[in-house]
Amino acid sequence: MILVFGATGSIGRHLVHQLRGADVTAFVRDPAKGDELGCRYVVGDLDDPASVAAALTGADRVFLNAGGAQPADGEQPMVRQQRTVIDAAAEAGVDHVVKLSVWHAREGGKLAEGAHWLIEEHLRASGLGWSVLQPSGFMQNFLTGAAVFTEHGHILGAYGDSRVSYVDCADIAACAATLLTQDPRHGETFVLTGPEALTHTEIAAKLSRVAGREIRYVDLPASAFATRLTALGLPAHFAHDVAGLFAEVAEGRLAPTTTAVTDLTGRPARTLDDFLGDNADTIRTSWSA
Ligand SMILES: NC(=O)c1ccc[n+]([C@@H]2O[C@H](COP(=O)([O-])OP(=O)(O)OC[C@H]3O[C@@H](n4cnc5c(N)ncnc54)[C@H](OP(=O)(O)O)[C@@H]3O)[C@@H](O)[C@H]2O)c1
């Protein structure tokens, strides 16, 4: 049995759909959301270790992703929660865990990059079979505007004119589905990107065409960006870390593209135009004002 954590999230929803026909169970905390998934599910919470252990009974492969929200106070519950899953999976005799991480996860990395590195290290030391997916930024960040910083309906950032190879979560899910149903590629890490790298000015122009109004990308120096985020209500140290992360991206480290999506799925990675076209109605509604 394949157990999917984060099944109701941006990746998990695609994954359980793509795994239809397989012996799959979703781990959800809200039964109403579980009902919408169209697959078997168990109800639990990552902060309730007993529910995690119960769900893992009989599982042989696990997709590990959850706790997407970044708390503003700097704590990372994701680390504690995912370590709980790893320990319980080892206890339950699971064969293999496919972990969703982030590109450039590393010791001392800012925000999610440091948190995912701690979890990856825990997984590597667990004795479990493992493979790791390290995606670039998600195209889904642009779906509603809730996952990017905006002011007066325009996108705010400190990326300069650097390019980012955003990837569609549907492709991340397809890669995970391959690893969960075919050779799980024990010990391998895959950097997943879209097929092209775009500047945020180019992305704003594409978004504008779909939304039917002008959406601009407003670039700020990192320190001014941090100040603006604080003015928008973010705690100062969190704003500082976000601006620092964006300044690192401005150096171009999310600009390369890889062939991992094609290598794993046998088809090309989806472009931003593909993504925007498929989600045009949502984008028009969400970005209308
Ligand atoms: N955004 C990016 O550009 C980007 C890039 C690379 C990597 N990442 C990584 O991607 C991950 C987020 O993935 P995503 O977009 O799929 O997340 P998401 O859409 O925010 O979904 C999070 C999932 O975790 C579940 N969850 C949260 N807390 C839980 C708990 N206490 N118990 C059980 N389930 C819980 C949520 O369930 P509910 O539906 O009940 O809330 C949901 O299914 C993060 O680790 C992030 O670091 C993001």
List the end-to-end C-alpha distance of the chain, in Å, as a whole number.
Answer: 45
| Ligand 1 in reach of 80 Cβ (< 6 A) | no
Same-domain status, 51 and 118: yes
The candidate with the shortest Cα–Cα distance to 67, out of 134, 5, 113, is 5
Is the pTM higher than 0.95? The answer reads yes
For residues 111 and 242, the answer to whether their CB atoms sit within 8 Å is: yes
Tell which atom from ligand 1 comes closest to the C-alpha of 30: 40
Same-domain status, 11 and 111: yes
Same-domain status, 206 and 229: yes
Same-domain status, 162 and 243: yes
Task: Give the domain CATH number at 155.
Answer: 3.90.25.10
Task: Give the domain CATH number at 49.
Answer: 3.40.50.720
Same-domain status, 152 and 221: yes
Same-domain status, 126 and 11: yes
Three-class SS string for 86-125?
Answer: HHHHHHHCCCEEEEECCCCCCCCCCCHHHHHHHHHHHHHC
Residues 6+ apart with CB under 8 A from 266: none
**pLDDT of res. 113:** 94
Cα dihedral 162→255→194→177 (10° resolution)? -130
Mean pLDDT (10-residue bins), the chain, 289 residues: 98 97 97 97 97 98 81 74 98 98 96 95 98 98 91 95 98 98 98 98 98 97 96 92 95 98 98 98 92
| Ligand 1 in reach of 102 Cβ (< 6 A) | yes
Same-domain status, 224 and 86: no
Same-domain status, 93 and 199: no
> What DSSP string runs through the chain?
-EEEETTTSTTHHHHHHHTTTS-EEEEES-HHHHHHHTSEEEE--TT-HHHHHHHHTT-SEEEE-------TTS--HHHHHHHHHHHHHHHHT--EEEEE--TT--TT-STHHHHHHHHHHHHHTSSSEEEEEEE--BGGGGTTSTTS-EETTEEEE--TT--B--B-HHHHHHHHHHHHHS---TT-EEEE--SS-B-HHHHHHHHHHHHTS---EEE--HHHHHHHHHHTT--HHHHHHHHHHHHHHHTTTT----SHHHHHHSSPPPPHHHHHHHTHHHHHHHT--
Q: Which residue's alpha carbon is at the smallest distance from atom 12 of ligand 1? A: 68
Identify whether 152 is part of a domain: yes
Give residue 78 CA to ligand 1 midpoint distance, Å: 9
Q: Which residue's alpha carbon is at the smallest distance from atom 28 of ligand 1? A: 67
| Ligand 1 in reach of 170 Cβ (< 6 A) | no
Identify whether 208 is part of a domain: yes
Identify whether 185 is part of a domain: no
Q: Which residue's alpha carbon is at the smallest distance from atom 24 of ligand 1? A: 66
Give the Cα-Cα-Cα angle 38, 172, 208 (nearest 5 degrees).
Answer: 95
Identify whether 261 is part of a domain: no
Identify whether 183 is part of a domain: no
Identify whether 114 is part of a domain: yes
Same-domain status, 104 and 8: yes
| Ligand 1 in reach of 216 Cβ (< 6 A) | no
For residues 130 and 64, the answer to whether their CB atoms sit within 8 Å is: no
Counted domains in the chain: 2
Identify whether 181 is part of a domain: no
Q: Which residue has the tokens 């109800």?
A: 43
Which residue range forms the structural domain that includes residue 284?
Answer: 136-168+192-256+270-289
Q: Which residue's alpha carbon is at the smallest distance from atom 46 of ligand 1? A: 68
Q: Which of 134, 160, 180 is the last residue of a domain?
A: 134
| Ligand 1 in reach of 41 Cβ (< 6 A) | no
Q: Which residue's alpha carbon is at the smallest distance from atom 38 of ligand 1? A: 8
Mutate to test the pocket of ligand 1, among 16, 42, 85, 138 (most ligand atoms within 8 A of CB): 138
Same-domain status, 154 and 288: yes
